[in-house]
Structure 1
């Protein structure tokens, strides 16, 4: 057997071992699947809240907000974002809660006034 044939067999062997390793690592346990699902849910809630809450606050106050100063979540069903107004803002504090079960904003509080309260 020549050197070239030995190298070709070694390369093919490396590819076969690589495919076997990738195939074996793709099997997930139920805990890993649940964890991945929880992460996807949290990301979806955060994304939805980041789209809807700043628009609502801007519509109600005329001030555009960007990054919340505080975020609270149970990582399953709700996310609450809070903003503190700056000197040139038309509000002092704003709080927006998004419930996943409603698929949208369930509570909006600006300067201690409840503007939206869905249950």
Structure 2
């Protein structure tokens, strides 16, 4: 099996990299979240938001930018397990859950 530049083993094409989000996604969490996303660029990604209790604008921007990047790269970017209270926050911010998901053209 090949390795990526970061020294991690490559995933099979059908298996997405998984990121589990922290409970609090505030300003302090934005930089580490950005780094997590950059480490996985070029791979399909599944973001598990099931633990999220608070979502700030900065981390939302990171997720939206990552989604746009993955779409441009033709890679899958899914945010799963979005808690109802976070869906309400997204609505208040003018964002839908679909805005956080990107599927390659062949999968759409």
Same fold (TM over 0.5): no
The structure, 1 or 2, with the larger RCO (C-alpha pairs under 8 Å, 6+ apart) is 2
Question: Where is the helix percentage greater, Structure 1 or Structure 2?
Answer: 1
